């Protein structure tokens, strides 16, 4: 369940970040959707210390398997565009916004804090692929207004 990131990301407790993967098939077997999980900021020391002992701050407390829903669902009737792509959900556990026309496509997406991270890390994500790969980034609710 662990993967290596191009930049040094660790969970609040120092454990490696985690992800869940569903292999693509058919016409989607060479396309990728990478979804960054949301989870909010670790705003206070007390909150960070508490989170270290939960799945919000440690990959040791995360589920081994999770259902893929929404943009990650594998049912064509509910997710016509991406149901057969390689789909990865990257778990959020650092409390700091993850602070890492071709047949080959990759989509980085995220919701909430993961959505903002998709915006912030889009250029770095692009650099992981050959120039022939078409890369897009999608933020699902990752805009925070200072109100």
Phi (first) and psi of residue 30, to 5 degrees: -105, 10
Query: What's residue 71's pLDDT?
Result: 93
Query: What's residue 12's pLDDT?
Result: 85
The mean pLDDT values, 10 residues at a time, for the chain of 147 residues are: 50 87 95 90 82 90 93 95 95 76 67 87 88 83 67
**Which tokens hold the place of 112?**
């909430």
Query: What's residue 144's pLDDT?
Result: 67
Query: What's residue 23's pLDDT?
Result: 97
Query: What's residue 95's pLDDT?
Result: 80
d(CA 70, CA 60): 25
């Amino acid at each position: 369940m662990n993967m290596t990131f191009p930049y040094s990301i660790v969970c609040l407790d120092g454990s490696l970040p985690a992800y869940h993967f569903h292999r693509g098939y058919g016409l989607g077997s060479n396309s990728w959707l990478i979804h960054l999980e949301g989870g909010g900021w670790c705003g206070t020391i007390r909150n960070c210390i508490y989170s270290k002992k939960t799945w919000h701050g440690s990959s040791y407390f995360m589920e081994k398997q999770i259902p893929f829903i929404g943009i990650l669902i594998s049912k064509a009737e509910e997710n016509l565009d991406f149901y057969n792509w390689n789909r990865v959900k990257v778990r959020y556990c650092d409390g700091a916004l993850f602070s890492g026309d071709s047949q080959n496509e990759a989509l980085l997406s995220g919701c909430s804090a993961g959505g903002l991270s998709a915006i912030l890390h889009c250029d770095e994500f692009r650099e992981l692929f050959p120039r022939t790969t078409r890369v897009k980034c999608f933020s699902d609710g990752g805009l925070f207004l200072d109100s």
